[in-house]
Amino acid sequence: MAYLGANMVNNVYPFLPHRSRPGWSLIPSRQQSMLQDLDWDQVEQGLSPTRTLSNIFWMTLPWQNIRNVLGGKLHVLDVGCGSGDYFDRLQSWTHGMIHSYRGIDVQERPNWGGLTKTNPQVSFQVIRSLFSASDILPETNLVITQSAIEHFEFDVLFFREIRKFVDRIPNPLLQIHLVPSAACLWLYVTHGYRQYTPHTIDKMTACFSERDTQKILVPLGGRHCNRLHFSALTLSRLTKGRQADQRKTNPPLYERQLSTAILKDAQRPAQSPSFYAVILASHLSLDLRTVK
């Protein structure tokens, strides 16, 4: 109850009178444009709405443009990488553009050895203490997190360390962080330390100035995805257990409902988002409207 109460206050606070910091570009229309030519057969099935939305976002980024503005090679740092399975996904979605991939997590995973053995450009590191700028290799030009920052006890300090890296090595650096929205409090109930709103995202990344960093916020999903998640996953699992999850009991129905919900939310972007993509482009200019 204390967790729910604290997060409710944190999530409601931004809607009270406050002074917002300038400098953010909100791109609510990208969700609709990125679905126009989407090959749904390439979308992994059996995932939650928020993870499906996240994967579609990664799939449809203008990777050729991103590689060009980053100097022709993508050197990725994946913080909170877990099993490191986003290396294979990114390599597929970028059509082989990942020049190097380094995953960081608090514990070693069993499959790390296999990944590094078959992919010489892949490496991993266990960091059990606080993340620091020294953990970022000098050639890194793309820092990513997927559903990880909500598990960082000190999220503000995390971004301050990346800021130190940007100041020390003033090369182009792109950050893409996918984080849960306020709606996820009721979808996941207890998950990580917190959820995020535009106001708390702004506070978390305040160390980056609009003078040298382009800030972009992309809302993903909306009310239809949230309702599906709650009814098909959250409520079923709370009342009947994990095996009642509709992804297990009726996968075809769930996948049809999911694609319908995503397409409906795309018609009304930024309405109660399910997730946010936080993009920080330091010493470079990024145009998300560019085609893949």
pLDDT at 236 over 70: yes
2-222+270-282, what's its fold?
Answer: Rossmann fold (3.40.50)
Q: Rounded to whole angstroms, how far apart are CA atoms 72 and 52?
A: 28
| Residue 68 CB coordination number (10 Å) | 11
Q: Is 256 buried (19+), middle (13-18) or exposed (0-12) by CB count in 10 A?
A: exposed
Q: Which two tokens stand for residue 51?
A: 């993870």
pLDDT at 1: 61
Q: Rounded to whole angstroms, how far apart are CA atoms 220 and 265?
A: 9
Which of 79-83, 196-200, 243-247 is modeled with the greatest confidence? 79-83
Question: What average pLDDT does the segment 167-194 reach?
Answer: 92
pLDDT level of residue 16 (50, 70, 90 thresholds)? very low
Average pLDDT value over all residues in the chain: 89
Q: Let me know: does 260 contact 225? Beta carbons within 8 Å.
A: no
Q: Let me know: does 150 contact 193? Beta carbons within 8 Å.
A: yes
pLDDT level of residue 189 (50, 70, 90 thresholds)? confident
Place of tokens 């099993």: 83
pLDDT level of residue 285 (50, 70, 90 thresholds)? confident
pLDDT at 18 over 50: no
Break the chain into its structural domains and give their ranges. Answer: 2-222+270-282
pLDDT at 239 over 90: no
pLDDT at 242 over 80: no
